[in-house]
Chains A and B, each alone.
Chain A
Amino acid sequence: MLYNLLRMNKMHRTFAALSDPTRCAILEMLADGEKTVMDIAAPFAMSQPAISRHLKVLEEAALITRRIDGAKRPCALSPAGLEQLEHWATALRTTLARNYNRLDAVLAAMPPVEKEAP
């Protein structure tokens, strides 16, 4: 069900981007504000090209934006991408909440289970 929602909301690219601990850590760093590739790479035991590849995935998933500042390309969180993520989470929540609220009613009407040895 969740997966179907992912597909329908075209969120698979976003989740592919999020399915990596390094990229999640990068997003957390950017929550403090814009940063250069060098700033971002500093805490990681990883080459700058490797970090740049992660940034490219995040950029393609619209989770970050990069602007040109001379020779630098500083990165920042993308409000639009994050908003999309939030919309998806809301849609998922609504669907699950509806199903589980109905399940509450089903359970209330269910006769008590006779315990059998499984």
Chain B
Amino acid sequence: MTALKIDLAGDGLAIVTRHFAASPEQVFRAHVEAEYIRQWMGGMDGWEMTHCESDARAGGILRYGWAGPDGMSFEITGEYEVVKPYSEIRHVERMHMPDATPDNRCHTTFQASNGGTLLTLRMQLPDEESLKAMLDTGMEQGMEDSYSRIDGLF
């Protein structure tokens, strides 16, 4: 069973679950060690990961960068808050396009299950207040150009 499941909870939480045929230790390491992260994270046609830093400890930073067609690039930066081998990661991340989007809080857990690992990724979607603040500052309009440039990124 490797089926990917996405649930949208009513309280603004998105919950992603996926089973992997590997130990929690392995799946955990693939999420925090740069040499592994760069091999799987991205998912974009025509884009290449150009840098990948991951200092997986409380307070450590993460920094991922990609380069795409026509000299386009984008970056995700963040900080680790909790790193508990090999069961749990809490981190905050944001995207730079080039202006930073508001922080996205992520909670990833790794549980032994059926001889493999059940990965659960919980992402807190931005609350109404921060969205309102964003829209009020006219950021939405300003972001439109970025959107159209990166349309089809995923």
Residues of A participating in the B interface, judged by any CB pair closer than 8 Å: 1-8, 10, 12-13, 15-16, 18-21, 24, 89, 91-100, 102-108, 110, 112-113, 115, 118
> Which range holds the interface residue count of chain B?
35 or more
Where chain A touches its partner, the secondary structure class is: helix
Complex contacts, B42 vs chain A, CB 8 Å: 99
Chain A proximity of B48: nearest CB distance (Å) = 13
**What are 23 sample pairs from A and B whose C-beta atoms fall under 8 A apart?**
A6-B125, A8-B154, A15-B12, A19-B125, A19-B127, A19-B128, A24-B10, A89-B8, A94-B154, A96-B43, A100-B4, A102-B40, A103-B30, A104-B2, A105-B40, A106-B36, A106-B39, A107-B21, A107-B30, A110-B22, A113-B26, A113-B29, A118-B85
Residues of A within 8 A of B72 (CB): none
**Are B11 and A3 touching (Cβ within 8 A)?**
no
Interface of B is mostly: mixed
Q: Considering the chains assembled together, what is the distance between the CA atoms of A103 and B27 in angstroms? A: 8
